[in-house]
Structures are given as C-alpha cells and as structure tokens.
C-alpha cells in the first residue's frame, strides 16, 4: 500500500487544506500553469501557507512548501506537526525532493504529509515514508528543533 497513513476521516485537516487552497489561488505559475498550495501546522497551533512563485529564469522559481516554511520562520514558529500540499487534477501532489528535505529540517519522521486539492485529501504519508534515512541536524551534531 502506497499510503503510509490510514485514510483520514472526511473533513480531517480541512483547515490546513483550506489554507493551502487559499494560497494556491494566488500562485504565480505563468510557465508551468501548475498551481500548488502548501500549508503547515506548527506545534503552537498556527497555520502558515505558501504558493509557488515561478520566474522567467526557471531555476529561480520557488515551491509552495518553501514559501510556507519561510512564512513560518518569519512568524516565529519552527516545529512542523502537519503538512498539506494541494494542486490541480486527480493525482496526489507530494512535495518535491528538495522540499522533503526542507520539511525535514523542522519536522520528524512521523509528521503527516497530506496531498489534497479542492475536493479533499487524496493521499496521506509520513515524512519518513517520503524521505527515508534522511540527512538531518543530528548528522551535523545539532539538535532537532
Ligand atoms: N511545485 C511546488 O510548488 N511544490 C512541489 O512540491 C512540486 C512542484 C511547483 C514548482 C513549479 O512552479 C510547478 O509546481 C511545476 O513543477
């Protein structure tokens, strides 16, 4: 089974999904036309959202998750307890490899990561399932947040 988490009850994490979708409306994705929203719940209970911001110099564009993490840090929070990524279509949109690593900096292996869209949650995983044997702060002798 692909999902690392049991299916969520209908409506679970809907606040997170709605925050991601609200950010996705503002995506700047003129090149790919692929709009992505991300929302993070932190240990404090706050929710931070972001969306993708593309650039004519393609590699300079940033992912929705990166925007949400930047908002979280600017808001004074550091501990991620739940993540939602939303996008168009029926496929579950999971964080790209780089964003899995970005999330790892502020989350542990059991942190749920949901892939959703306008209609609800499509699939749920743990960070550990998406980024096994991750490189993290401990390898540098630093503590997790
Ligand atoms: N994108 C994200 O924002 N997050 C992901 O995890 C996957 C991809 C964006 C980057 C680019 O603007 C568009 O989706 C197509 O790759």
| pLDDT in the model for residue 1 | 38
**How many whole angstroms separate alpha carbon 18 and alpha carbon 100?**
21
Indicate which CATH number applies to the domain containing 16: 3.40.140.10
141 within domain boundaries: no
Total domains in the fold of the chain: 1
134 within domain boundaries: no
Q: 127 with 80: CB under 8 angstroms? A: no
76-123 pLDDT per residue, tens: 999 999 999 999 999 999 999 999 999 999 999 999 999 999 999 999
75 within domain boundaries: yes
pTM, 2 dp: 0.95
69 within domain boundaries: yes
Q: What's the average model confidence in pLDDT over 63-69?
A: 98
143 within domain boundaries: no
96 within domain boundaries: yes
5-64 pLDDT per residue, tens: 877 777 789 999 999 999 999 999 999 999 999 999 999 999 999 999 999 999 999 999
- Residue 34, C-beta contacts closer than 8 angstroms, at least 6 positions apart: 52, 87, 88
**How many whole angstroms separate alpha carbon 132 and alpha carbon 99?**
14
Nearest atom, ligand 1, residue 52 CA: 3
Domain span holding position 47? 7-128
Query: Considering only CA atoms, which of 34, 7, 36, 33 is closest in space to residue 20?
Result: 36
107 within domain boundaries: yes
| pLDDT in the model for residue 4 | 62
Q: With a 6 A CB cut-off, is 63 part of the ligand 1 pocket?
A: yes
Active site residue 65: yes
121 within domain boundaries: yes
């Amino acid at each position: 089974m692909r999902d690392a988490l049991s299916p969520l009850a209908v409506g679970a994490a809907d606040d997170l999904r709605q925050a991601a979708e609200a950010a996705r409306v503002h995506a700047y994705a003129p090149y790919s036309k692929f709009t992505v929203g991300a929302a993070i719940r932190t240990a404090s209970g706050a929710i931070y959202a972001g969306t993708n911001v593309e650039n004519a110099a393609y590699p300079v564009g940033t992912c929705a998750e990166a925007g949400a993490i930047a908002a979280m840090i600017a808001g004074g929070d550091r501990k991620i307890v739940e993540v939602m990524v939303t996008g168009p279509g029926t496929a579950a949109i999971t964080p790209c490899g780089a964003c899995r690593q970005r999330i790892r900096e502020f989350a542990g292996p059991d942190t749920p990561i949901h892939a959703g869209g306008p209609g609800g949650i499509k699939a749920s995983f743990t960070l550990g399932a998406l980024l096994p044997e991750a490189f993290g702060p401990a390898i540098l002798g630093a503590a997790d947040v």
